[in-house]
Amino acid sequence: MGGDHGPGVTVPAALNFLREHPEAGVVLVGAAEVIEAELKVGNSDLSSRLRIQPASEVVEMHDPPAAALKNKKDSSMRVAINLVKRGEAQACVSAGNTGALMAISRFVLKMVPGVERPAIITLLPTLKGHTYMLDMGANVDCSAENLLQFAVMGSILVSSVEQIEKPRVGLLNVGEEEIKGNEVVKRAAELLKSSGLNFVGNVEGDDIFKGTAEVVVCDGFVGNVALKTSEGLAHMLATFLREEYGRNLITRIAGLISLPVINAFKHRVDPRRYNGASLLGLKGIVIKSHGSADAYSFQCALERALEEARSGMLNELGMRMQIMNPQPAGEV
Amino acid sequence: MGGDHGPGVTVPAALNFLREHPEAGVVLVGAAEVIEAELKVGNSDLSSRLRIQPASEVVEMHDPPAAALKNKKDSSMRVAINLVKRGEAQACVSAGNTGALMAISRFVLKMVPGVERPAIITLLPTLKGHTYMLDMGANVDCSAENLLQFAVMGSILVSSVEQIEKPRVGLLNVGEEEIKGNEVVKRAAELLKSSGLNFVGNVEGDDIFKGTAEVVVCDGFVGNVALKTSEGLAHMLATFLREEYGRNLITRIAGLISLPVINAFKHRVDPRRYNGASLLGLKGIVIKSHGSADAYSFQCALERALEEARSGMLNELGMRMQIMNPQPAGEV
């Protein structure tokens, strides 16, 4: 029940989600009385597929992850992840503090054996449809082996969720040629070539939105900068376009006439449709929603969770990691 | 006379540039007969401020920098940089192979004493005007000390060219808090705090286009990815907008009515206006134009060269580096 807007957003999102997915159920975790008040505002004929799990604490956006992990054992975040751990929920969706969500998820759910680092994977629109990119900020320093594992995890997620047998995997670099890049990326390319993945080689920043690959792999520093730079550019362009249409009476009339076009355009690139980044590598499905998500946006994150839960992705990942990192005979 | 389009672009750009800047002169370097043919097509009443310097070779876009440096001693690129070295030109502007331009410039012009690595700095539009960002790809692996030097060089360039006494310097990172980032960036922040620069702290990707700082510092890997990702996103958004306006008769009419608005918008973010990245840290001014630049775009790069030559930036940089790295008494 975190995020910037709390149950006022998450409860209506959950109700809409239940309406559109008759096979799904939702557990709302948090302050029971607040949630109940929101449920009364909304339509609660969905009560058979909806239950409230009380939690007395809230992880705040500014809480250091370690403190949230240690001191807030009855936070809505912790209780929700515990539900996943116990198998009472198939996924946890949170709009709260990313660092705390990652720390608590790692502590409670543990990592898939063989995965060294979890990664944050997000969906982005492209000229051809959409692509998945990781890591978006969980790991600011990565080894070539980490990048290889991100590629494997991303590939399994995409093949499971999108039913693409061999998703094209691109390594984000500063040029397409093999000699380009820093040492870590060059070595990662070597590992990827012999990985059995459908590695299409280096891709550049502009390839992300071209849709050159279904999985784009980078370290969390580069991924975070690329994502936030894109958000900043999109915001600037939208502001300029709005300013130009608002300049005078004639431009405002042109804007009115263009409204259907602009709305269709906005829908195609609406970042809310791409909300919901997955914390990959955990023994459970955890989806991070944007903190400022509105109800539509949070519903998209819930839908992402449903897709992943249905896809069997976690089993696939466990099996693949076992093949990549076989245990010594004595330890089996 | 390199670039994708050759003298068909660079000669008209030079003529227009001369027309608009009566105090400037241009030396066109390359195959004399090709340049002369272009001059006849254009208007050449500017001949007193224009001369041709013949060069028999061309560095191709695919030439490895080391080979271009070693084997093409009469390339237009090499001859142009030699002119700067000899003081016969105050700046070199090239639309050719970036790696070769950097290698030849370093070899011929040498580095400003005290500068460890040259950096590529580029201008980007922001909500408030524009900002300068470096390094955009010259150095894929950087130390904290390199990032500090980039900040110093960027700051001197901006204060000289823009007449801003203490430009705000931001360090590109994955969060604003001091604990964020990889080890190199954290250490660079420490160095920047005690540098005497107007260091405003960490900035995030979305701050670039907000105009939070006049100088944004990052390593060349991150800078290149951020720039190309922005180019890719802008291209995708433009494509979608065009598609939506072209969808049917009604949307096409809306597009016609919106044409003045769209043109005003396009002008504000026209990447051609931001063409011309400076190779900073050399004992001479070298400007890299986009390879695919058209005449307007190449003219903008020429104007950047003029601004830098006028600004006295090179002297400033030399003096600042001497203060930062005083030579031991015996070596002076």
Q: What is the pLDDT of residues A59-107, one digit of tens each?
A: 998 889 999 999 999 999 999 999 999 999 999 999 999 999 999 999 9
3-state secondary structure of B195: coil
Q: Where are the beta strands (DSSP E) in B26-118?
A: 26-30, 50-54, 91-94
Distance from CA of A251 to the nearest CA of B (A): 6
Given this model, what pLDDT does residue A329 score? 54
Please list, in sequence order, all residues whose beta carbon lies within 8 angstroms of the beta carbon of residue B54, skipping any fewer than 6 positions away: B29, B30, B31, B32, B79
In a domain, A91, yes or no: yes
Contacts of B266 by beta carbon, 8 Å cutoff, 6+ apart:
none
Q: Among residues B280, B303, B320, which one ends one of the domains? A: B280
Q: Total domain count for chain A?
A: 1
pLDDT mean over B212-217: 97
Mutation choice for A interface testing from B124, B209, B250 by most A CBs within 10 A: B209
Give residue B10's domain range: 1-113+281-332
pLDDT, one tens digit per residue, over B255-306 is 999 999 999 999 988 999 999 999 999 999 999 999 999 999 999 999 999 9
C-beta separation of A300 from A127 below 8 A? no
Nearest-by-Cβ selection for B226 from A207, A229, A247 = A229
User: Cβ contact (<8 Å) for A207 and B174?
Assistant: no
The residue of B128, B146, B230 whose CB has the most chain A CBs within 10 angstroms, and thus the best one to mutate to test that interface, is: B230
Residue A160's contacts (CB-CB under 8 Å, 6 or more residues apart) are A308, A311, A312, A313, A316
Question: Is B247 found in the same domain as B149?
Answer: yes
Structural domain contains residue A169: no
Do B143 and B272 fall within a single domain? Answer: yes
| pTM of the predicted structure, to 2 decimals | 0.92
Residues 6+ apart with CB under 8 A from A133: A121, A122, A124, A172, A208, A215, A216, A217, A218, A223, A226, A227
Q: In the structure, what pLDDT confidence band is assigned to residue B3 with cuts at 50, 70 and 90? A: confident
Of A207, A251, A264, the CB nearest to B232: A207
- Shortest CA gap A57–chain B (Å): 25
Same domain as B214, residue B188: yes
Of B221, B227, B268, the CB nearest to A222: B221
**Mean pLDDT for chain A overall:** 92
Residue A163 resides in a domain: no
CATH number at residue A293: 3.40.718.10
Q: Which of B137, B241, B265, B267 is nearest to A246 (CA)?
A: B265
Radius of gyration from C-alpha coordinates of chain B = 21
CB A263 within 8 A of CB A256: no
Give the whole-number percent of chain B exceeding pLDDT 90. 81
- As for the ipTM of the complex, it is 0.90
* Whether residue B28 sits in one domain with residue B136: no
B217 neighbors B150 (Cβ within 8 angstroms): yes
B249 and B306 share a domain?
A: no
Q: Please state, in angstroms and rounded to a whole number, the distance separating the CA atoms of residues B238 and B235.
A: 5
Q: Give the rounded distance of the alpha carbon of A273 from its chain centre.
A: 12
One domain, residues B8 and B18 = yes
- Partners of residue A253 in chain B, C-beta under 8 Å: 257
- Are residue B149 and residue B251 in the same domain, yes or no? yes
Q: How confident is the model at residue A324 (pLDDT cuts 50, 70, 90)?
A: confident
Q: How far is CA A300 from CA A45, A267, B248, in A?
A: 21, 14, 30
Query: 3-class SS at A158?
Result: helix
Question: Do residue B274 and residue B130 come from a single domain?
Answer: yes
Q: CA-based Rg of chain A, rounded to a whole angstrom?
A: 21
